[in-house]
Amino acid sequence: MRNDLWRLLTGLGIAFGIPWLFLVVGPYFRLTEEAPVMYGAEESSGFMGFPDPNMNRFGESDYGAELYGREGCAYCHTQVIRPTYAGPDMWRVGWGGREGEARETRPGDYAGEGYAYLGYQRIGPDLSNVGTRIADRLKKDESGLTDRQWHHLHLYAPRQIERYSAMPAFQHLYKKVPAAGRESAEALPLKKEFAPEEGYVIVPTPEAEALVDYLLSRRKATPLPAAMRPMVSAGTETATEG
């Protein structure tokens, strides 16, 4: 009976081992070790090469991604912009990046993140480029909010920003302080409906600042080095030789 066992186990092992090696483990290490593509001398993306782990950093904190994970944000928000053959993501204003720069997300856009929160469902909008999308939107309206303020307001009282929002409020990331105190300089400009009682204001905790840093770092439309872009036509591109 030993023969049967080993024959069967070998069959099972091969059937599973091949895809395991070629679909999962191989690509995992290949993509991990992929060398960045350098930018040409005339390109001004602010980085030496693509990808660069600093592309996904913003502000001083570095634990925003953990907060994003622990609050389960990725169950309702994706961070993936599909090319036009696979979905209409790039046509939505600001989703694929700034006008004229919009593009689909590439593996390099998630460099240094450990885990790419590609997401599960889109109950809320995609966040790949929320860092630039909100800033651009605020430039056009008359609210006078900074993008950091906007994100804090949206996290503390989503329905002040969007009446029919289905997003939970993350009130535990904020604290209530006396309006006269030293901390009140950071107070959120809440409408009466969402504001605490008279004499108090709401200010962000360091955790809220870290989460907003993370959201502001979502800019996955960094221009690609010329070497990674298709040639549109001679003359319109300042492509580096080779």
Partner 1 sequence: MSLDLNQATSEDIRERAAIDRSVRWPVLFFFTSAAAWLAVATLLGAVSGLKLSLPRLWESCPAMNYGRLFPMHMIALVYGWAMQAGLGVMIWLMARLTRNELKNSVTIIVAGHIWNFGVSIAMLAVWFGFGRSMPWLDFPAWIAPILFVGYLMTTLWLVPMFKARRAGEVYISEMFLLGAAVWFPWIFATSVLLVGDDGSAVMSAGTNGWYMANLIFLWFVPIGLASAYYLIPKIAGRPVYSYPLAKIGFWSLIILAPWTGFNRFIGGPFPAWIPAISGAATILLLVSVLATAINFWKTVKGDSKAKLWENSPTLRFTMFGALMFVMYGVLGALSSYFSFSKVLQFSHFVIGLDTLAVYGVFSMMIFGAIYYIVPRVTGCEWPSGKMIRTHFWFSTYGIGTVVLTMLLGGFAQAGQMNQWDSSFILSVEVGNRWVVGRIIAWLLITFSNLGFFYQLALMFFGRGRRTAGATLMPESAH
Binding to partner 1 (CB under 8 A) within 118-137 occurs at 118-125
* Residue 94 Cβ vs partner 1, minimum distance, rounded to whole Å: 10
Q: Binding partner 1 by CB under 8 A: which of 54, 62, 87, 178?
A: 87
Using CA atoms, how far residue 128 sits from 51, 102, 236, 242, in Å, is 16, 11, 28, 31
24 binds partner 1 per the rule CB under 8 A: yes
- Residues paired with 200 in a beta bridge: 178
12 binds partner 1 per the rule CB under 8 A: yes
Q: Binding partner 1 by CB under 8 A: which of 39, 61, 64, 104?
A: 104
State the CB neighbour count (10 A cutoff) for residue 226: 18
100 binds partner 1 per the rule CB under 8 A: no
| Interface with partner 1 in residues 202-241 (CB under 8 A) | none
Query: Which one of the spans 42-50, 83-91, 198-206, 231-239 is the region binding partner 1 (CB under 8 A)?
Result: 83-91
**Torsion (CA) 234, 236, 237, 242 in degrees, nearest 10:** 10
15 binds partner 1 per the rule CB under 8 A: yes
For helices 130-140 and 206-216, give the axis angle rounded to 10 degrees.
90
Q: Binding partner 1 by CB under 8 A: which of 41, 70, 144, 198?
A: 70
Q: How far apart are CA 39 and CA 223, in angstroms?
A: 10
| Interface with partner 1 in residues 149-178 (CB under 8 A) | 158-159, 162, 164-172
* Residue 3 Cβ vs partner 1, minimum distance, rounded to whole Å: 11
143 binds partner 1 per the rule CB under 8 A: no
Which amino acid is present at 97?
Answer: G
Using CA atoms, how far residue 187 sits from 2, 141, 153, in Å, is 73, 21, 10
220, 78 in Cβ contact below 8 A? no
